[in-house]
Amino acid sequence: MSPAVCQNCGSRSFRADRSLGGRLICQTCGTPAGSRPARSARARPSRTDRHRRRLWLVLLAIVLVMVVVLSAL
C-alpha cells in the first residue's frame, strides 16, 4: 500500500526512484515514502510565519508610538 501524502511536506506527488529499487520518492522534498519527517524542516519557521511575526512587531511598534504621542498631549 503506497502512502497518499508525504509525511515530511504534505505533497501528493511521488515518483519511483530506480536507484532505490523502485521505492517511491516525494517529488517536492525528495524524502522516501513511509520515512519519518525530518526534524530540521519542522524546527525552521516557514516564510509566512516570519512575515506574520514581523507584521505583529510593526503593529506593536505603531501602537506604542501612538500611546506615547497621545500621553504627551
Residues 6+ away with beta carbon under 8 Å from 7? 31, 34, 35, 36, 37
Read off the pLDDT of residues 2-26 as tens digits, 9 standing for 90 and up: 457 888 888 888 888 887 788 888 8
Residue 8 domain flag: no
Is residue 35, in this structure, part of any structural domain at all?
A: yes
Residue 62 lies in a domain: yes
Position 39 scores a pLDDT of 64
This prediction has a pTM of: 0.43
For residue 57, being part of any structural domain is answered with yes
Total of domains in the chain: 1
Q: Match 509566512 to its residue by C-alpha cell.
A: 48
- Nearest CA-CA partner of 41 in 24, 26, 29: 29
DSSP lists the bridge partners of residue 16 as 24
Closest CA to 2 of 69, 16, 46, 65: 16
Structural domain boundaries, residue 59 = 14-72
